[in-house]
Structure 1
């Protein structure tokens, strides 16, 4: 992607990003399609004759149906079929009613209003215990600048330790682990113990919802129990202080906890 196209993508994200995975369209390996009017962008990958869309088109809600029609016409022109991964909310509502599309529910997505995030005394005892464990081990959390985080060898060490604990290879696409090379518009919270990073959380914006996706929780090899919980608690409180009204941890695969009966497989 050229520098000019990158700027076009970010301009559209900053204005229209509504789907929580919107900022993942800048992940490595993504291709980008722009509408003829330049007011919409879709991030996708090609697999087995399909163009697999990362989430949903980034555009205004009023333009969504027209953008879908233009996109699918372009897919047909190139003899490729469209597929939408993570087609939640308004995109799901449109596509699930059509006879030429079918849907499979992958899981559920927990969502909170950070303005209503509970004080420690109102949290479950098990969560309070985890927060106390981390604090008692000397873990503190600070927000780092994007510049400092992106150039930090210590955070890359923590990321490498975390990935080394995973038995399976990285999936990439919407779960790209190598996020430190592109932190534009994101917020980074770092857990330190004795001044040494032991974990971090990065949050990607969802501007059209005045919200954030907690994109990644990274726990180093020497991180005490409760480090991730302390990161989440500090991050959500900081996002709330900034006026955010929406925060999610993203898709929980195979979860059946959605209250909406429309989001269930037959």
Structure 2
């Protein structure tokens, strides 16, 4: 089935859901960072980036998380500030990087930010696409929902039980954390690319845990087999189903069943939107007219897709997410200050993601 793509419309931000508790993170000024995310969190990657360095500009309430890697400053996600102040913050970030002898890039960013950055001379390179579900009208019925229904039925027949995380007051119980840690260890050893990734790809489901929601699937014997962490997207009135961790021996349909359960729970809590996370190098491709994208650079990037498929199952990931019948898809971008910055950007991203280099992939 060919998935319908829809680019985000210009509209008022959805009301943010209320989140309780304090951020469980040792980052400097954690409370301030948390407040910025609650007010401006629009990009799914924003919460995971809060522990990074933050670039701030005098007169702007907010900042831009970034990661320094060699000669590159990598702005991570969209700036956490008022949308009308993003242009000024981006301009200041690029200028400060230049004064420090660095190249400023940003990723992953939304189509909304790519449009904001275009007048500043940024070149956008589409990295993939992200599916979104409008939860209050979401209903995976009909032929297009057949795969999901089959997975739900399989999980039910095999005795899979679904639950939200047990809490000790407002904290996750030690027993739940221990179960999840064991599950993550089993999952890590089964991956195509066994080397743990760093930067925004680092597995850290309990970072900033106070505002997250957690879900667990158990097999018929009570063993934890699938774990899911959902991060808030306050500026969109929604949630990002960020970490879906499946035991290699999980019953058939368990991961899909837990995802559907989490979506239903979030909908019942009043959330308007949910995203299942990006599909890198997603096909089919559809450009965003307002982003100053480079067809040449995107063609070069996508040409590497067959080689990268040795370590990453692009098609399988898209098929899994497509079964939930997304309401629309949005592109995600890499922003470069110029086309000539691509080699520096590629080296910086490699250092940020794989500090040990490509040889660590095995």
Same fold (TM over 0.5): yes
Deviation at 1:149, TM superposition (A): 5.6
Deviation at 1:170, TM superposition (A): 2.3
Larger deviation, residues 75-84 vs 141-150: 141-150
Change beyond 3 A, Cα 1:152–1:136:
same
Change beyond 3 A, Cα 1:199–1:243:
same
Query: Per-residue displacement from partner, 1:29-67 (whole Å, max 9, x unpaired)?
Result: x22223324611221111231110111211111211122
Instruction: Show the counterpart of 2:133.
Output: 112
Deviation at 1:222, TM superposition (A): 2.8
The question of 1:252 aligning with 2:279 is answered yes
> Looking at both structures, which has the greater relative contact order when contacts are Cα pairs under 8 Å and sequence separation is at least 6?
2
Deviation at 1:190, TM superposition (A): 0.7
Instruction: Show the counterpart of 1:74.
Output: 96
- Structure 1's consecutive aligned runs of 4 or more residues displaced over 6 angstroms after TM superposition are none
Change beyond 3 A, Cα 1:119–1:58:
same
Superposed CA RMSD in Å reads 2.3
Instruction: Show the counterpart of 1:49.
Output: 71
The question of 1:26 aligning with 2:50 is answered yes
- Give the Cα–Cα distance (whole angstroms) in 2 for the partners of residues 11 and 227 of structure 1: 35
Query: Per-residue displacement from partner, 1:135-184 (whole Å, max 9, x unpaired)?
Result: 11111111114722666211100111111111311222222213235423
SS at match of 1:86: strand
The question of 1:242 aligning with 2:269 is answered yes
TM-score, reference length from structure 2: 0.67
- Give the Cα–Cα distance (whole angstroms) in 1 for the partners of residues 81 and 288 of structure 2: 27
Which of residues 184, 194, 198 in structure 2 aligns to 1:172?
198
- Give the Cα–Cα distance (whole angstroms) in 2 for the partners of residues 187 and 164 of structure 1: 25
Aligned residue pairs, count:
263
Q: Are the aligned partners of 2:63 and 2:81 in contact in 1 as well (CA < 8 Å)?
A: yes
- Give the Cα–Cα distance (whole angstroms) in 1 for the partners of residues 141 and 162 of structure 2: 16
Q: Are the aligned partners of 1:141 and 1:234 in contact in 2 as well (CA < 8 Å)?
A: yes
The question of 1:102 aligning with 2:157 is answered no
Instruction: Show the counterpart of 2:110.
Output: 88
Query: Per-residue displacement from partner, 1:76-104 (whole Å, max 9, x unpaired)?
Result: 232222100112122100223443x2221
- Give the Cα–Cα distance (whole angstroms) in 1 for the partners of residues 116 and 140 of structure 2: 39
Larger deviation, residues 31-40 vs 215-224: 31-40
Query: Per-residue displacement from partner, 1:176-229 (whole Å, max 9, x unpaired)?
Result: 213235423111011112332111111111100001111011001331011110
SS at match of 1:204: strand
Instruction: Report matched runs for 1:88-167 at 5 Å.
Output: 88-99=110-121, 101-118=122-139, 124-144=145-165, 145=167, 147-148=171-172, 152-167=177-192
Q: Which runs of 5+ in 1 are unaligned?
A: none
Query: Per-residue displacement from partner, 1:14-33 (whole Å, max 9, x unpaired)?
Result: 11111121111135xx2222
- Give the Cα–Cα distance (whole angstroms) in 2 for the partners of residues 121 and 176 of structure 1: 37
Deviation at 1:249, TM superposition (A): 1.5
Q: Are the aligned partners of 1:40 and 1:67 in contact in 2 as well (CA < 8 Å)?
A: no
- Give the Cα–Cα distance (whole angstroms) in 1 for the partners of residues 140 and 112 of structure 2: 33
- Give the Cα–Cα distance (whole angstroms) in 2 for the partners of residues 228 and 201 of structure 1: 9
- Give the Cα–Cα distance (whole angstroms) in 2 for the partners of residues 152 and 105 of structure 1: 36
Q: Which runs of 5+ in 2 are unaligned?
A: 1-24, 296-362
TM-score, reference length from structure 1: 0.90
Instruction: Show the counterpart of 2:326.
Output: none
